Structures are given as C-alpha cells and as structure tokens.
Amino acid sequence: MFRGALAFLLLCLAFPAAAGANCLPPVPAGHPLRILFVGNSLTYYNDMPAMVEAIGAANGLPIRTGLAASGGATLHDHLTSGDAAAAIRSGPWDYVVLQEQSSFGDTYLVDGRFRVRPTERWITDAAALAAEARRHGARPVLLVHWAMRDSPEDGPTIEALYARAARRIGACVIRYGPALARAEQALGRAALYQGDGLHPMPLASYVMAAGIVRVVGHRPVARIPLGVSGEPIDQDEGRRLGGNAVLVAVDAARARQIASWARAAGDRPSNAAPTPPRLPALPRGVPLPAALAGRWEGPLRLYPIPATLALNVAPDGRTASVRILSAAGEEMKHADELPIVRTVDGLSFVFPQGPNGTQIHFEGRFVHGALAGIARFRSADGSLEGIGSWRGSPIRSEPPH
C-alpha cells in the first residue's frame, strides 16, 4: 500500500499543473522544440503541423514536427497498428501530442445529427500511448478537438472528457477551442468549417496552429506569417502528395486578428461536466384507432440525411410493408410483411435493414390523427447507435376513426 501511495505522490509531483495553468514547462532558449502529432484528419487537415512550424519560426521558436495520422483514426487504431509507437521511437521528441477522433471512436446519431456522448473507453488507449511517450523521454499532451458545426452543444462534453483524461493519465492539455470561438464570433462558422461541418478550413487550421504555438512557447504570438507553403497532404488519407503548394494565405489585418485570437488558447483543462445529449421521447398518445390499414408517411429523423418513412399497413392491421425514402423520393431500403405489435395506446415493429447490419426498433403512438414515435438501432458492441423521431400521417381521403 505504501509503495502505491508513493507512486501516486510522485506522479502528482511530476505533473503538478495537469489540472491548472502553466502545465507545459518553459522552452529553454535556443532549444528547437520537437513535437510529434498523433491523430487523425482533424490533426493533419491543411497540414496544420507545418503551420505550427512556420508560426514558431516567425516568433523565434524553432519547431520540428512529426505526424502519425490517418483519416478517421482513433487512438486505439494507432495503438493496435503500432504506427504511433514507431513514430515515438523515431524521436527524440519533447512532446507527443495526442488527439482523439472527433466522436471518440463511436458513431452516435440523435435525430440525425452526429453527437458526442460521455465515454471513457478511449482514455485507456491515451494512457498507453502516454506511457510509451514517457518511456522515450517525451511529455504526453492532449490536443482538445472542437465540436461539429451543427452540434455546438457537444463542446463542453468534449472539453470535459479531455480534462478527465488529463487528470487520470497525468498529461497536459492544449485547448485551441477558445481561440477558435473568438474567430467564429468575428467571422461566422462558414469561414472556419468545411462543408461537412467538421473539418477545418485553412484559416481555422491557422488559428489552431497559432494557439498551439502560444501554449507550447509560453509567449504571445506576435508575428503571423502572411502565407505558409509546404508539401500538400491528401485530406482523406493523410498521405504526403509531393511538390509544394500554398497552405494558407492571409492579409496583414487578418494576421493581427489571428495573433489576438491565439491569446485565448491555453493549457488549463475545462471544468465543464459531460452532458449527455437530450434524446427524443415517445410522445403521449390516445388509444389507437380500430382501423390502421392504409398508408402512413412522414419524416424519419434517424439518418444524417433527410428521409421519409412510408408505412403500408395490411387490411388486417397485423403486418406492414415499410419503405425508407430519400428526400428525392427514391427508395433507400424496404421490407415486407413486418409483424406489428399493437397495444392499447401504441404499436411497435422491427425493421431488419438498419445501418451496418443492425435492426431498427420502431415504437409509435397515435397523436393528433397521426402516428408519431421514436426509432432506435444499436450495434452489438455499442460503437454504432442512433435514436430519432418519426411521424406518419394518413395518406387517404378520410382520417381514421
């Protein structure tokens, strides 16, 4: 017991500021800072590490970066493939910066929107990579990513998950989110997000890079280069493409703004608490009509794209054919003769063709002359899950009685 307590004490002494400011040590004068980034497309998009090097050089802080990243990769992927360990051994590095995949390895849909749910499975992988970094003389750092454009309410949950991991594994964090928030206030989201609502535009990557340099360099970022050129990266896979290209270009006024926004970046973990997404609920209804036979159609908010549920109930009310249609009316999936389970105030049925081999469980109530309810699917390991709402109005001349 004493040995375990002593080990815990030494860990606290080694990382006294993991939950506070100034976690990262000052850089010795004239010392080139060596940073290995381990992550995914959020990490390498627009060659953000090259921007870090350029901003560092402009501010008297020589930085050499390395990159172990591929599109959609989780820290678990890096751990099991061995690519991160190989990159760490290729050092030496001062910092190994770890960035988890945008949804922490899960795919979670709520009413058709990608959301983040509180999860801790990824922390085990982060801890293993942090231990590998320490074995080779590097300090592990967690790079906090941002929320999707259409789910900004996930921001506090993301911050809280990184803070929890930082405390558990004794790592520092870099939070460029506050700098991006200031940029968003000034420019709007369209200037920062790609069309997918997740990946950064070059300007956003430049703001991230400036925030990173401010934190690791312990100094204001006074000079922002008006342009950065380098070897382009395949945005899907993270491969170097060869040649030379302009990665980002700004005018003098924008450069001054970026320098100002970068002051908001920091290494103090957020105190926010993870907040699970608010889920759609089964509505209150009235007793089902005696006659359900016929067509019922309406919106299905379960997929990332708009969809319509078309339910055709057989004359005996015991089975139904189900079609899921795209916004253009094209059939995406269908199934025939699905058994309907009917209760006094509702119904349910199971659609066998859910995402990635799952089944979609539908529940419904009779509300204001229409069917309305929720639909759910979940993979066996829980890494793919969705819940959404649906509604079906009667497609016939007379409403049901």
Angle at 356 between CA 294 and CA 319, to 5 degrees: 20
Parallel, antiparallel, or unpaired: how do β-strands 139-144 and 172-175 relate? Answer: parallel
List, for residues 331-344, the tens digit of each pLDDT value.
899 999 999 998 87
The predicted pLDDT at position 396 comes to 65
Mean pLDDT of 257-265: 90
Whole-model pTM: value is 0.84
Mean pLDDT of 369-392: 95
Distance CA 98, CA 78 (A): 10
* Between residues 271 and 263, the one the model is more confident about: 263
Contacts (Cβ under 8 Å, ≥6 apart) of 54: 209, 225, 228
Distance CA 202, CA 53 (A): 15
Q: Distance between alpha carbon 53 and the CA centroid of its chain, in Å?
A: 25
Helix ranges (H only) for 66-199 are 75-81, 83-89, 121-135, 155-169, 177-187
Highest mean pLDDT among 3-7, 222-226, 241-245: 222-226
Of all residues in the chain, the percent with pLDDT exceeding 90 is: 62
* Between residues 349 and 237, the one the model is more confident about: 349
List, for residues 352-367, the tens digit of each pLDDT value.
999 999 999 999 999 9
Domains of the chain listed by start with CATH number? 13-262 (3.40.50.1110), 294-394 (2.40.128)
Distance CA 307, CA 304 (A): 9
21 burial (CB, 10 Å; 0-12 / 13-18 / 19+) is exposed
Q: Which of 322, 324, 317 is nearest to 340 (CA)?
A: 317
285 and 367 Cβ atoms separated by less than 8 Å: yes
Residue 3 has pLDDT above 70, yes or no: no
Binned at pLDDT 50, 70 and 90, residue 2 comes out as very low
Q: What is the mean pLDDT of the chain?
A: 87
* Between residues 235 and 90, the one the model is more confident about: 90
The predicted pLDDT at position 329 comes to 84
The predicted pLDDT at position 11 comes to 32
Residue 62 has pLDDT above 90, yes or no: yes
Residue 261 has pLDDT above 70, yes or no: yes
* Between residues 74 and 20, the one the model is more confident about: 74
The predicted pLDDT at position 21 comes to 45
Distance CA 23, CA 315 (A): 69
List, for residues 160-202, the tens digit of each pLDDT value.
999 999 999 999 899 888 888 899 999 988 889 998 888 999 9
The predicted pLDDT at position 22 comes to 55
List, for residues 31-61, the tens digit of each pLDDT value.
899 999 999 999 999 999 999 999 999 999 9
The predicted pLDDT at position 47 comes to 94
